[in-house]
Structure 1
Amino acid sequence: MPKKVIYIAGLGLIGSSLALAIKRGQPDYEILAYNRSQESRDIALKEGMVHAVTDDFAAFAPLADVIILALPIQQTLDFLEVLSQLELKDKVLITDAGSTKAQIVAEAEACLQDRPVRFVGGHPMAGSHKSGAIAADVTLFENAYYIFSPSSLTQPGTIEEMKEVLVGLKARFIELEAGEHDLVTSQISHFPHILASSLMEQAGHYRKDHPMTQHFAAGGFRDMTRIAESEPGMWTSILLTNRAAILERMEDFKNRLDQVAQLLQRGDEEAIWQFFNHGRELRKAMEIHKRAGVDSFYDIFINVPDEEDAILGILELLRGTSIVNIRINEENREDINGILQITFKNREDLEKSAKIVRENTKYQVFLD
């Protein structure tokens, strides 16, 4: 493919990681970037993520063959309007990286319908608790879903061209209509964030009269509420741009809670057992243990005793190996070991690490 000029608007985690991954897959491309804050612009230049940066979005837009809006949702909507007023290259390819799609696609169609441009919605289903260009990770998107939502401005070959531009992400590309995207993500992403924050609100109020709540909040409660620490501005925008689907999921959940309450009121032991068993079977059938529904991460499980420096010793053995995540699966019992779960991005690192731990410790090691 001929050399292209890629313009990335937004050098947060997603935008800066896109820059690194595009550069890896297409080293001949010229990568330009916009970012409001000086710090991320400086980091991107210093680390060689991009060739040039600006704090004036309109400055580089006319130079681009591909424009990627890696911005908060409302800013993406605003910048689509800005693009409609600029002189752009003929058939420039415009896309975004927002977590909701219907409103963005509709805005693009409304703003750009009379312009000689192409637009396809995009959603890389990857992220981290880190933010900014300093958190850029060239491997962030590997094996994760990258969703394309076509619009009336998506011409034949548009999505294939985007796949070629993004080949260095090593992502799994899929097409999904914008409305269906928002319905699916309302259930498996947006509504769970409401649940997590609601549980924290409830527990925070409850601990005022029952202070031990503060100390026993581990295990399942910790796992269910982890995402309550997500950035509030982003999630406010997501909710407001997918409100109908999320409200419907909330109403459905309230009805399901009412049904369980009725079982408890009746003391229906068999029905309660069936409720829990059905949930267990459903979870086994869904690919929840896999990131974005694909086998993109590999886990090692190590039985570790409650001893000083046990975990640090294991991590020291694995120094130099790329680790995605670490967690301790607590059992809240004193007579058994905890389970240290370490996540890797590829099976080679998984198997190498398992071999190292087995050869240098007496801990039990299991592979997922």
Structure 2
Amino acid sequence: MTRTIYIVGLGLIGSSLALGIRRSHPDARIVGYNRGEQSRTIALEQGIVDEASDDFGQFVEEADVIFLCVPIQQTIQFIKELAQLPLKETVLVTDAGSTKEAIVAAAETYLSDRQVNFIGGHPMAGSHKSGAMAADVNLFENAYYILTPSALTQADAIPRLKDILSGLHARFVEIDAAEHDRVTSQISHFPHVLASSLMHQAGEYQEEHPFTQQFAAGGFRDMTRIAESEPGMWTSILLTNKESIIERLAEFGERLKTVQEMIATGDKEAIWQFFDQGRRIRKEMEIHKRAGVDSFYDLFINIPDQEDAILTVLEKLRGISVVNIRINEDNRADIHGILQITFKNKEDLERAEQIIHEQTSYQVFVD
């Protein structure tokens, strides 16, 4: 019997989920909802979905599984609407929101009388691109896919969902919704606040010190990259995870005061220990060892400022999937640039490292 998978929201996440589901379940009927016509048209033309609509309720009654891949507040609104719509008795409902406690609470409140099989979900992957046009079947490869069970999660929910999503090649982790929000407040939500705060500070500072803008590169660029994220999404995230984020902000403020005191008193040993501990903690964290929020693998190549140097490297890596390319330390004229190439898995990273080591004279290393 053909299963009907309903993807609500045909943006980057929803469309990429659909591609992954089709890869492992080619016989599934995948239908989609999207308010905007452009993504609906692209999703249909590219075979991401078999049918699409701008009417949320159109496919609800037929769906065996419903993925809510829309902003958090819209997800909660759709959960409310599902409570009033006809559903299959065996329907499995899940979502893709970046915060989980508010969504799980909404499901437990509005769907408890419907016997809906609900489990929260958060695929921890993304891109600066958006819409169905950016859909990528490999978007979630090796990335963590968080599952947050609820009071409505039946025994078959997790195995059913893992089977449906097997084509994503993601790493599934089960965690309590409240704990999910506490953890992500530290490693995702707070860093976005910090990045935007740094940009606000630098923007004001450059008014009196214009070279601030010219010299902003290297570490500053890497620390503030995420400040370019979509404001609406982050407004919703902050307002649905208030307590944890406020707690992180307050705690960080105390840390900054401590560092300020170290500098003011000239405590050389304390400053050294501060940086050394930070360095050691980062080395011990699994940032580059396994999947994380950015489940990538980075290769660093020292290359001279010569014509076609980057092109030569990329030509040798033809056939290997590259996630991102970046030139670091481009504000220094007296040293080689560092070409940072990002891969999605360890195998591609190791293959690329071997090729560059054997076929060029450039120094290559892995972080």
TM-score range, shorter chain: over 0.9
Please give the alpha-carbon distance, in whole angstroms, between the structure 2 residues aligned to 1:279 and 1:192.
Answer: 16
Please give the alpha-carbon distance, in whole angstroms, between the structure 2 residues aligned to 1:350 and 1:270.
Answer: 38
Q: Match for residue 9 of structure 1?
A: 8
Superposition pairs of residues 306-325 of structure 1, within 5 angstroms: 306-325=305-324
Q: Match for residue 269 of structure 2?
A: 270
Cα deviation code 1:266-320 (max 9, x no counterpart): 1111111111111111111112234644995433222100123311232233334
The answer to whether the Cα contact below 8 Å between 2:125 and 2:295 also exists between their aligned partners in 1 is no
2:249 aligned with 1:250: yes
The answer to whether the Cα contact below 8 Å between 1:65 and 1:89 also exists between their aligned partners in 2 is yes
Please give the alpha-carbon distance, in whole angstroms, between the structure 2 residues aligned to 1:65 and 1:92.
Answer: 5
RMSD: 1.7
Q: Match for residue 106 of structure 2?
A: 107
Cα deviation code 1:133-190 (max 9, x no counterpart): 0000000001111011011100112111110111111111010000000000000000
2:48 aligned with 1:49: yes
Please give the alpha-carbon distance, in whole angstroms, between the structure 1 residues aligned to 2:68 and 2:55.
Answer: 14
Superposition pairs of residues 44-83 of structure 1, within 5 angstroms: 44-83=43-82
Q: Match for residue 19 of structure 1?
A: 18
Please give the alpha-carbon distance, in whole angstroms, between the structure 2 residues aligned to 1:227 and 1:295.
Answer: 11
Q: Match for residue 356 of structure 2?
A: 357
Please give the alpha-carbon distance, in whole angstroms, between the structure 1 residues aligned to 2:275 and 2:65.
Answer: 49
Please give the alpha-carbon distance, in whole angstroms, between the structure 2 residues aligned to 1:250 and 1:295.
Answer: 22
CA distance change for structure 1 residues 366 and 278 in 2, over 3 Å: closer, same or farther? closer
Q: Which has the larger displacement, 352-361 or 41-50? A: 352-361
Task: Give the partner amino acid of 2:189.
Answer: H
The answer to whether the Cα contact below 8 Å between 2:149 and 2:174 also exists between their aligned partners in 1 is yes
TM superposition shift of 1:355: 4.4
TM superposition shift of 1:117: 1.3
Q: Which runs of 5+ in 1 are unaligned?
A: none
Q: Match for residue 164 of structure 2?
A: 165
Cα deviation code 1:44-97 (max 9, x no counterpart): 011111110000000011100000000000100100011000011112100000
Please give the alpha-carbon distance, in whole angstroms, between the structure 1 residues aligned to 2:356 and 2:270.
Answer: 45
Please give the alpha-carbon distance, in whole angstroms, between the structure 1 residues aligned to 2:80 and 2:67.
Answer: 14
The answer to whether the Cα contact below 8 Å between 2:142 and 2:345 also exists between their aligned partners in 1 is no
Cα deviation code 1:183-208 (max 9, x no counterpart): 00000000000000000000000000
The answer to whether the Cα contact below 8 Å between 1:290 and 1:297 also exists between their aligned partners in 2 is no
Q: Match for residue 140 of structure 2?
A: 141
The answer to whether the Cα contact below 8 Å between 2:296 and 2:345 also exists between their aligned partners in 1 is yes
Task: Give the partner amino acid of 2:336.
Answer: N
How many residue pairs get aligned? The number is 367
Please give the alpha-carbon distance, in whole angstroms, between the structure 1 residues aligned to 2:260 and 2:350.
Answer: 46
Please give the alpha-carbon distance, in whole angstroms, between the structure 2 residues aligned to 1:328 and 1:190.
Answer: 26
Please give the alpha-carbon distance, in whole angstroms, between the structure 2 residues aligned to 1:157 and 1:349.
Answer: 35
Partner SS for 1:114: helix
Please give the alpha-carbon distance, in whole angstroms, between the structure 2 residues aligned to 1:50 and 1:194.
Answer: 36
Cα deviation code 1:251-275 (max 9, x no counterpart): 0011111111111221111111111
Cα deviation code 1:16-52 (max 9, x no counterpart): 0000000001111110000011110111011111110
Q: Which has the larger displacement, 307-316 or 233-242? A: 307-316
TM superposition shift of 1:322: 1.2
The answer to whether the Cα contact below 8 Å between 1:92 and 1:117 also exists between their aligned partners in 2 is yes
Q: Which runs of 4+ in 1 moved over 4 A?
A: none
Please give the alpha-carbon distance, in whole angstroms, between the structure 2 residues aligned to 1:7 and 1:200.
Answer: 39
Q: Match for residue 304 of structure 1?
A: 303
Partner SS for 2:113: coil
CA distance change for structure 1 residues 291 and 34 in 2, over 3 Å: closer, same or farther? farther
Partner SS for 2:13: helix
Q: TM-score, normalised by structure 1?
A: 0.95
CA distance change for structure 1 residues 299 and 115 in 2, over 3 Å: closer, same or farther? same
Task: Give the partner amino acid of 1:210.
Answer: H
Please give the alpha-carbon distance, in whole angstroms, between the structure 1 residues aligned to 2:231 and 2:248.
Answer: 20
TM superposition shift of 1:119: 0.4
Task: Give the partner amino acid of 1:55.
Answer: D
CA distance change for structure 1 residues 263 and 135 in 2, over 3 Å: closer, same or farther? same
Please give the alpha-carbon distance, in whole angstroms, between the structure 2 residues aligned to 1:14 and 1:294.
Answer: 14
Partner SS for 1:59: coil
The answer to whether the Cα contact below 8 Å between 2:330 and 2:337 also exists between their aligned partners in 1 is yes
Please give the alpha-carbon distance, in whole angstroms, between the structure 1 residues aligned to 2:356 and 2:318.
Answer: 12
Q: Match for residue 128 of structure 2?
A: 129
TM superposition shift of 1:351: 4.0
Q: TM-score, normalised by structure 2?
A: 0.96
